[in-house]
Structure formats: structure tokens, C-alpha cells
Chain A
Amino acid sequence: MATEPTSPDTTPPGAGRDTTGSRGSRLLGVVTLVGLAVLVVLAFVVTDPDVRIHPTSGEEFGQFDAVRMLYVHVPLAVMTYLAYGLCAVASAGVLIRRTPWWDVTAHAAAEVGTVFCGLVLVTGSIWGRPVWNTWWEWGDVRLMSTLILFLMFAGYLALRRTTGDPRASSRRAAVVALIAVLDIPLVNRSVEWWENRTLHQQSTLGDLKIEDLTLFTLMLGFLVLGMVLAWLLLHRFRVGWLERAALEHSVAAAIIERRAETPTSEVHRAVGEAGDAGTAAGDRS
């Protein structure tokens, strides 16, 4: 990929940019942390638990305080879909445009998306235990498709980690990501038919009175987790870019080093130029 190898970097340490941070990302980071703090306060202190009175028996029912989990679980789910959607778009870009930017974006989006997806499954399971009385429900459509999405992208990340021609592996990974996203409607349909009732229909957003403070906190959750997603994507993208550059640079540096070791006569001989065939090289280390 490198045309003519350049000499090793002579920038004195500390003079250039030595982290993936920038003024913009640091500002975003601070705002995000403040937002997270506000979200936690709203979710735990300011909002009310979900308590409803049964119309005939007069008993209290509802999610009670477990509803506070939804303020992080639902935004996490939305951000997962955004991240994976970005990965799918970037993967299409890899296949169509083939520039490195699309590839680094796809990888970054997949990795961050998988972290979020794992958290969706964990928070969903923890929420489900007190509300549905089970850690896992096989018949639930959303749970199933999220799990399969997670597994598919775990496979994507494993594929990315294999060694080999980076150009080929970026195209293969792009195909995997696109098929993963296309498979989701199929998964949804089959699980929907599989269990006609889904627990997700029971205590969900549909039942909750989503108004006023609950609505505001949920919206804030979307905003804050959106900022977390943006911050992580930005840094992960920069890391991905650095990884590519480091690989190219190390190849280039190795070429230079090898050239420095080899007398010109042997280089000529190796590439089959006339006049020096059979002449032994001078001494080398």
C-alpha cells in the first residue's frame, strides 16, 4: 500500500498529538459526564416508581422501582441499533467505495455497537427478573433478535481479528455485517410466529404512563447515551485509523531497515540486474 517508504518519524515526543483526544472530544466528554450524572439523579431520585391500582381488586401492581432500569435500558437499545445501522452503511461503503475511511468506521461502529448490545442484554435480563420473574424469556421477539444480533456481530469482530490480507478481510467483514443486518427481519418474523404471545407486550412502554417527568428522563437518556455513543465512536475511529497507519508504518520501516543493511550490489543482484550476477556481496552484519 505505501508507495515510497518515508524515513522514520523525527517529530520530537510530545510535539505532535499523542492521544486520540482533541478539544472537541474533551468538551463532549465533559458534557456527557455531566449529562450522565443528571440522568442518574433523575432516574433514581426525582422520578416516581411505576405503581398502578388494579381496577377491580384494588391491589397495587406495576413495575414499582424496576422501571428506573428502563431509563438506561431503552436508550442503550436505540443506540445499539444506531451503531449497527452505521456499521451496515459503512460496510456498504467498503464494498462500493473501498476507501479506508469506510472500513475503519465499520469496524469502530461494530465494536462499540457490540458493547452496547451486550449491555442491552444484561440490563434487560436484570430488569426482567423482578418484573417477569425470569432472567430470560425464550419467546420474546426483541430479546431473541437482540441476542442473535449480538452473536452475529461477535462473529464479525472475531473475523476482524484474524490475520491476513487487510483488504480482503475488510471486504469479507463488510459482507458479514450486511448479512447480519438483513437477517434481522427474518429472525423477528420467525420468533414472532414461534410464540404468539410475547412478554415484551406485557409490562412495557405501552403500559407505562409516559408523560411529563418519565418522558423527559427517557428523552434525556437518549440524548446522554447518544453522546456516549458519539464519544466512543470518535475515539474508536481514531484508534482504528492509528492501527492502520501503524501497520503501514511498520512495514515501511522494515523495508528501510532491510535496505540499509544490504549493499547496493546485492540489491541489484536480487532484482536480477545485469553485471552483478554471481558477485558475492560485501560483508554484512
Chain B
Amino acid sequence: MNVLRTVLSEARLVAARDLRIEARSRVVVDQILPFAVLVLVLFGFALDADHRTLRTFAPGLFWVAVLLSALLAVQRSASVDAADGTGIALRMSGLSPVARYLGRTTAVLVQLLVLEAVLVGGLVVLYGVDVDDWFLLVVAGVVAGVAVAATGTLYGALASGLGARETLLPILVLPVLAPVLIGATRAFDDALGAAAVDGWAWTGLLTVAALILTMVGASAHGVLVED
């Protein structure tokens, strides 16, 4: 019990630090958020911008925009510690790798949730979408966000320190997140009334995925960071 409490408080420390850095640098708010909205806008242009088409495809377009933005957020999170030897300082700090992983993942998750909230606003305004089931929307959004943050943080650490990190991260992460994309889109289909599917069943699958990915991430992170 004590160990768990220590890990959680250490994780909170790391998360708070990452979020403080973001609050000061505002990279997510100034750069990644606008990028996400831009993706939605581009889809509007590409699909010939009629509300009916956009409403039908809104869930899928939303999650593609989230995934692409998440890649940027994860790159950013991983690069913060690459500079100035802070990565080494963190490793020497005595914080457990699991705590560092959970803290970093939490910080990325918070940023993703902000992103998702703004994008839902984008869907309502730009695509004329009506939300049928807010509760399902929020739960599915949070759970899928956890899955994306957990996977992204692990692979961000994995690709760090390598020459081709920016181009490597997407091809490593996105195939693994394919089931999350499928599940999240189906859940949002139900929540937005775009298709007759069982959104809660899909959310259940997403929860399982999120749990597995987080556990795998926590255990693998220690291995990677050992070097």
C-alpha cells in the first residue's frame, strides 16, 4: 500500500512538473490546438463541406484529428527532457520509472482532454453536429484518451535519443492504436447519433485496451529507461 502511495505521489510530482512546463511554454495551446482545429477545417475543404457528409463522418474525422495532434503532443513531451541533460537528472532523481511514466502519461492525457474538448466544440460549430449522449461522449473520450496517452508516452520514450524520432514515432504508434481508433469512432457514432451501434459496448472494449496499454507501458518504460 505504501509503495502504491509513493508511486502515485511521485507520479503526481512528475505530472505537475510537466503541466507547469506546458503552462509556461504554452506549446499545446499555441501550436497543437490550432493544428487540431486546422485538421478539422482541412477535412471540411477536402470532403466538399456539406453538413450532412460532415455529420456522418464527424466521429472518424474527430479521432483522426486527435491522433495526429496526439503525436505532436507526445513528441513535445518527450523532447522536453531531451534538452540540457534534464533526462539524466530525472533518472538520477530516484523517482521510480513507473512513477515517471504515469506522471508523464497523466500530463499528456490532460493535454489531450483539453484538445478533445475544443475539438468537440469544433464539431458542433463547424460540422453542425448534435450530441445525443453527452455522458457516453465524455466517458469514451476519456478512456480513449488514456489509451492514446499511455501508448504515445511509451513510444515517445522508445523513440527518444534516436536520430529519426519525428518520423519514426508515427509509424510505430499509429498501427498499435488502430483498435482504439475503431472503438472510439464507433462509440462516438453512437454518442453523436451518426450510426446505430452499441457505444457502451465499444467503450467497454476501449477500457480494456486502455488498461492493457497502460500496464504494458508502465512495465516496458522501466526497461527502456534503464540504459
Contacts and interface: CB of A to CB of B under 8 A. Distances in A.
A/B touching: CB–CB < 8 A? yes
A257 interface: no
B171 A162 contact: no
B224 A172 contact: yes
B224 A190 contact: no
A274 to B, nearest CB: 32
Interface stretch (B59-67, B101-109, B120-128, B179-187): B179-187
Contacts of A273: none
A194 interface: yes
Contact of A190 (B162, B171, B183): B183
A220 interface: no
Given A148-B175, A186-B179, A162 B227 contact: no
Contacts of B186: 193-194
Given A164-B163, A193-B205, A151 B223 contact: no
A152 B223 contact: no
Interface stretch (A176-184, A200-208, A210-218, A259-267): A176-184
Contact of A171 (B159, B205, B224): B224
A167 interface: yes
B146 to A, nearest CB: 14
Interface string B171-201: 1101110110011001000000000000001
Contact of B182 (A152, A155, A179, A191): A191
A175 interface: yes
Contacts of B179: 183, 186-187, 189-191
Interface residues of A, number: 32
B175 A171 contact: no
B168 A158 contact: yes
Which of A144, A159, A179, A191 neighbours the largest number of chain B CB atoms within 10 Å of its CB? A179
A159 B168 contact: yes
B209 interface: yes
Interface in B48-81: none
Interface of A: 95, 144, 148, 151-152, 154-155, 158-159, 162-165, 167-169, 171-172, 175-176, 178-180, 182-183, 186-187, 189-191, 193-194
Interface of B: 154, 158-159, 161-164, 168, 171-172, 174-176, 178-179, 182-183, 186, 201-202, 205, 208-209, 212, 216, 220, 223-224, 226-227
14 contacts: A144-B178, A152-B176, A162-B162, A163-B162, A164-B162, A168-B227, A175-B223, A179-B154, A179-B176, A180-B176, A190-B178, A190-B182, A191-B182, A193-B205
